[in-house]
Amino acid sequence: MFEGARGEVTYVGEFVLDGEQPWFWDEAPSTSGPLRKVIMFRLVPQGAVRTAAGVAPPASLSPSLDTEYEDVDENVATAPRSEMRVDPDAVDRGLRGHRRTQNAVARWARQNGFRPLKPGPGDPAFDTGWWEGDVFVVVEVKSLSNGLSQVGQLRLGLGQVLDYDDQLRAAGKRTRPVLAVEREPDERWIRVCSRQGVLLVSPETLERLGGGA
């Protein structure tokens, strides 16, 4: 793998396709603005790789939790699609509501003295997160508009953040899982998430994030 598309490029390291899930559908902006469907490949390092911090052995990539968050573009448009043929999580990540909520959570973190992060090599595919002392706040974001099922989105988001939380705990990290949604859902979902140890917030209730572990 090399970083860079033209001119001088940097050799990152040798990778192979993941044996269980080698690829998945996602979406990416085109030069004209609207999102286009793309294939994303899951790559597994076969030796030392170069990261922003320097050359690292594969064992150190699981997980790093140290990649600076960058605000995502909220001015996106998605093309018509068949929901049965597209990963619903990939669709959600391309929606304006998802991106506005994600940026709002990261902005809250900055305003309260935390350093928002995004997934890096070896990290689960969370939307954003930050360190509060030795506790990592791992956040999954879900939009609740554009015709998507609110119940389906909440179920998907809860399952995802619990999965990320489990992966990080298995790596020896102390965690606080958070599900952030575009708008406040039915109060029942606050109770459902609370019973699973997950904090449920929306842009209107981000002050709940200050409650600690």
Q: Structural domain boundaries of the chain? A: 58-211
Averaged pLDDT, 109-134: 92
Model confidence at 5, pLDDT cuts 50, 70, 90, reads confident
What CATH class does 58-211 carry? alpha beta
15 closest CA partner among 55, 42, 43: 43
Which long-range contacts link 64-68 to residues 24+ away (Cβ below 8 Å)?
64/120, 64/121, 64/122, 64/123, 65/117, 65/120, 65/123, 65/129, 65/131, 65/136, 65/168, 65/173, 66/117, 66/120, 67/117, 67/118, 67/119, 67/120, 67/123, 68/115, 68/116, 68/117, 68/118
Question: Would you say 94 and 30 are in contact if contact means Cβ atoms under 8 Å apart?
Answer: no
pTM higher than 0.85 for the full model? no
Instruction: Kindly state the tokens that stand for 110.
Output: 């900055």
Q: Is the dihedral of CA 103, 61, 46, 170 positive or negative?
A: negative
Q: What is the pLDDT of residue 32?
A: 66
* pLDDT for res 31: 67
Residue 149 has pLDDT above 60, yes or no: yes
Distance, CA of 137 to CA of 134 (rounded, Å): 10
d(CA 199, CA 172): 21
